[in-house]
């Protein structure tokens, strides 16, 4: 930020929190997909397609402000929405809607709980299937 002449504010201290949020999302996807991949080998062929669709459903190439107001909270169910909006808030000073962010955090935690539950139920059969 200093290199590009952008002002460094206290918001930079929030970067580790959003990185932890991102790690929760990645860990839950990894746990879930690894458990399902042991049982169903074709998952590895479907994952790139769904990741690409998820990329376009997440505000990576566009701002979440472009989504109509009546769909904002549905859009916030995507956990990446809160994470990406948080990074935009830190780096560019955009507005971070706290309710949408909390919805994204909640969906990330639900995703983690589902992934851990599925992994624990399936891990006893890993050796049998492999």
Rounded mean pLDDT of the chain?
92
In a domain, 2, yes or no: no
Residue 77: inside a domain: yes
* Structural domain harbouring 67: 10-125
Give the mean pLDDT of 41-66: 93
Rounded to an integer, what distance in angstroms lies between the CA atom of residue 126 and that of residue 7? 51
pTM score, whole prediction: 0.87
User: What single string gives the DSSP state of each residue in 50-73?
Assistant: HHHHHHHHTTTSS-GGGS-GGGHH
Total count of domains within the chain: 1
Decide if pLDDT at 8 tops 90: no
Half-sphere exposure of 75 (CA within 13 A, CB side): 22
Tokens 């200093």 belong to which residue? 2
Instruction: In whole angstroms, give the CA distance from residue 113 to residue 15.
Output: 24
- Does any domain span residue 96? yes
Any domain includes 50? yes
Give the pLDDT confidence of 63-110 residue by residue, as tens digits.
Answer: 998 999 999 999 999 999 999 999 999 988 889 999 999 999 999 999
Does any domain span residue 130? no
pLDDT at 62 over 80: yes
**47 is a domain residue:** yes
Decide if 3 is inside a domain. no
- Residue 1 domain flag: no
The DSSP secondary-structure symbol of 11 reads G
Q: Which positions ≥6 away from 103 have C-beta within 8 Å? A: 73, 76, 77, 82
Flag whether pLDDT at 2 surpasses 80.
Answer: no
């Amino acid at each position: 930020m200093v290199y590009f002449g952008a002002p460094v504010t206290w918001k930079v201290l929030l970067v580790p929190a959003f990185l932890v949020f991102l790690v929760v999302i990645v860990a839950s996807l990894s746990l879930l997909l690894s458990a399902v991949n042991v049982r169903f080998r074709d998952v590895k062929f479907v994952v790139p397609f769904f990741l690409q669709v998820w990329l376009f459903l997440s505000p990576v190439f566009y701002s979440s402000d472009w989504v109509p107001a009546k769909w904002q909270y549905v859009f916030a169910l995507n956990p990446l929405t809160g994470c990406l909006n948080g990074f935009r808030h830190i780096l560019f000073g955009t507005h971070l809607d706290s309710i949408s962010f909390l919805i994204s955090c909640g969906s990330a935690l639900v995703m983690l709980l589902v992934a851990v539950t599925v992994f624990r139920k399936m891990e006893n059969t890993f050796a049998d299937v492999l």
